[in-house]
Amino acid sequence: MSGEPARPVDEAPAFSAALKVWARIGLLSFGGPAGQIALMHRELVERRTWLSERRFLDALSFSMLLPGPEAMQLATYAGWRLHGVRGGLAAGLLFVLPGAVVIAVLAALYSVFGAAPAAAALFFGVKAAVIVIVIEALLKLSRRALKGPWAWATAGLAFVSIFFFSAPFPLIVAAAAIWGAARGRGDAVDEQEYSAPVRAGPVAATAALWLGIWLAPLGALYLFAPDGLLTKIFLFFSWLAIITFGGAYAVLAYMAQVVVSGFGWLAPGEMMDALGLAETTPGPLILVTEFVAYLAAAKAGGLWFGLAGAAVALWATFAPCFLWIFTGAPFVERIGTRPRLRAALDGVSAAVVGVILNLSIWFTLHVFFGAVERREFGPLTLWTPELASFDWRAAALTALAGVMLLRLGWGFAPVLGLSALFGLGLGYLAGAV
């Protein structure tokens, strides 16, 4: 398979050691892309130095340019960089599978019992801790990506554009890349640090192989049930995988509208519960597609058909990620040797900070306040919380998580675990559980 990175053996960890880290990341990857990126930075750059700061930012910027969940694609790239295709598969699958299993179990329970108060209380505590994880990510990424006034300006403009004017994410990234390239002052890196020149033939073969892997189940479904629900699920979520630029947040409104009003697969309340569960379980937020597909299929054919629908949605959503990464990752290896491309990617890295700040504020508002209204004044958009809906419990849990993580230096696992237990305790005290 093409694009195996030329990396000296003594620079890479043992594959078994990497597997443990990928599993840890998959189990602790709460909080959407901002929290997940923070976790990977801590594990891969700070604690183990498996990736340099420059490589991590290059990979992050590249992942933000692609359709699909950027954090999952960042993990896949990191695995590829360390151990080639098997490493990319291991990192990508372990990033997704823990959350996918949790979502499948919750979807099955939800379809039978409805929303579980105890689970909601546990996840309430998790969400409060995730706010602190996101803040830590912002601080660290900004220190590394914002070097110089132009980078700060890029990040600021990106934030204002997406938060206040709802500018399309691809437009923001393209503008940042063009601005960076126009400056053209990126620092070239020694070419010996990077892999051999990329050859078109092997890259085309890799693209064809993974395109076939992605679409093969669709051919089987068309053969046996061309008008069946599973075929419709595959087609719809494959389409979402292609148009989901900027992560799940960029496409959730469209998906909810089509699933509820277009197809009639879910009721509005079920769609909101699906989004809430996906936000508070490990793995990419786009795992909400699995929950939606399970409920739609289970209504038509029961438990096993629901699991089949969930599996089809997972394949349609995440198989394209391996196509994008394994085809494009070898080109990232060459960016460091091209000053103008280096500067373009620096521009994207700065814009990413602004985008993550937008996601962080959006997430914090929806955790701290029970009601947040989106108001539009011409081209201007404002997220306005209802002050009376402020939840002091969320603020208290966030402050406690901040002390544990930022002041005491505890790891993610104990902070998330204790926050979840405190959330459950507050739920019992409030009589919600």
Per DSSP, the residues of 252-285 read HHHHHHIIIIIS--S-HHHHHHHHHHHHTSSS-G
CB 353 within 8 A of CB 361: no
Q: CA-to-CA distance for 30 and 285, rounded, in angstroms?
A: 9
Cα separation of 244 and 321, whole Å? 11
Q: What is the pLDDT along the chain (433 residues), one digit of tens a residue?
A: 445 454 443 467 999 999 999 999 998 887 677 778 888 988 999 888 899 888 888 888 888 778 888 889 999 999 999 999 999 999 999 999 998 998 898 888 888 776 667 777 877 887 788 788 778 878 877 887 888 899 999 999 999 998 898 887 778 888 988 888 888 754 544 444 445 567 778 889 999 999 999 999 988 998 888 789 999 999 999 988 887 765 555 566 567 768 877 888 987 667 766 766 666 677 787 888 998 999 999 999 888 999 999 999 999 999 999 999 999 888 876 765 677 777 887 888 888 888 878 877 887 888 899 888 888 888 898 889 999 999 999 999 999 999 998 889 887 778 878 988 998 898 888 776 6
